[in-house]
C-alpha cells in the first residue's frame, strides 16, 4: 500500500467549517473506511500560509508544497515543519491555503496532502 497526493478546492470562509464539509462530502462519496478517498481520511487541517491568493496561484503553491513534501518522504530532504503538520498518506492531517476573489477578499480554501492508496 502506498500514497498519492490530493488537491481540493472548496468554497467558504471558515476553515473548520469548509474542511468539515469537504471531509463529509468525500466520506459520503467514498465511505469512511475506504482508502480510495482523499480528504475524507483526514481529521485535522493546518493553515500553512496566511497569504490570500487567486485560486490558480493557490493551487500552484499547493503543488509546489506537495512536491517538497514528496521529496522529504523519499528521504531526499530532511523532514521539516511542513511535513510534521501535513504528514504522509497515513497521517490524519492535511494542509490548507487561502483563496481570494478578484477583490482580494477571502472566498475559499485549497486543501492538499496525501492519501492512502
- The C-alpha cell that represents 78 in the structure block: 530532511
CB atoms within 10 A of CB 88: 18
Considering its fold, how many domains does the chain have in total? 1
Counting Cα atoms < 13 Å in the Cβ hemisphere of 84 gives 4
Domain that holds residue 110: 3-28+35-116
- Residues shown for the chain: 117
Q: What tens digit of pLDDT does each residue of 18-43 get? A: 999 999 998 888 776 655 557 888 89
Question: pLDDT, tens digit, for every residue of 52-87?
Answer: 999 999 999 999 998 888 776 665 555 556 777 777
pLDDT tens digits along 98-113: 999 999 999 999 999 8
Q: Provide the whole-model pTM.
A: 0.85
Distance CA 109, CA 17 (A): 11
Q: List the strands of the sheet with 3-11, edge to edge.
A: 3-11, 106-116, 93-100, 44-53
Amino acid at each position: 500500500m502506498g500514497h498519492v497526493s490530493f488537491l481540493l478546492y472548496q468554497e467558504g470562509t471558515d476553515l473548520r467549517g469548509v474542511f468539515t464539509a469537504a471531509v463529509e462530502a468525500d466520506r459520503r462519496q467514498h465511505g469512511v473506511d475506504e482508502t480510495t478517498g482523499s480528504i475524507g481520511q483526514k481529521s485535522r487541517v493546518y493553515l500553512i500560509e496566511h497569504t490570500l491568493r487567486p485560486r490558480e496561484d493557490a493551487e500552484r503553491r499547493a503543488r509546489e508544497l506537495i512536491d517538497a513534501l514528496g521529496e522529504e518522504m523519499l528521504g531526499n530532504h530532511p523532514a521539516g515543519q511542513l511535513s510534521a503538520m501535513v504528514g504522509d498518506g497515513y497521517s490524519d492531517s492535511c494542509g490548507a491555503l487561502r483563496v481570494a476573489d478578484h477583490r482580494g477578499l477571502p472566498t475559499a480554501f485549497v486543501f492538499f496532502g496525501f492519501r492512502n492508496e
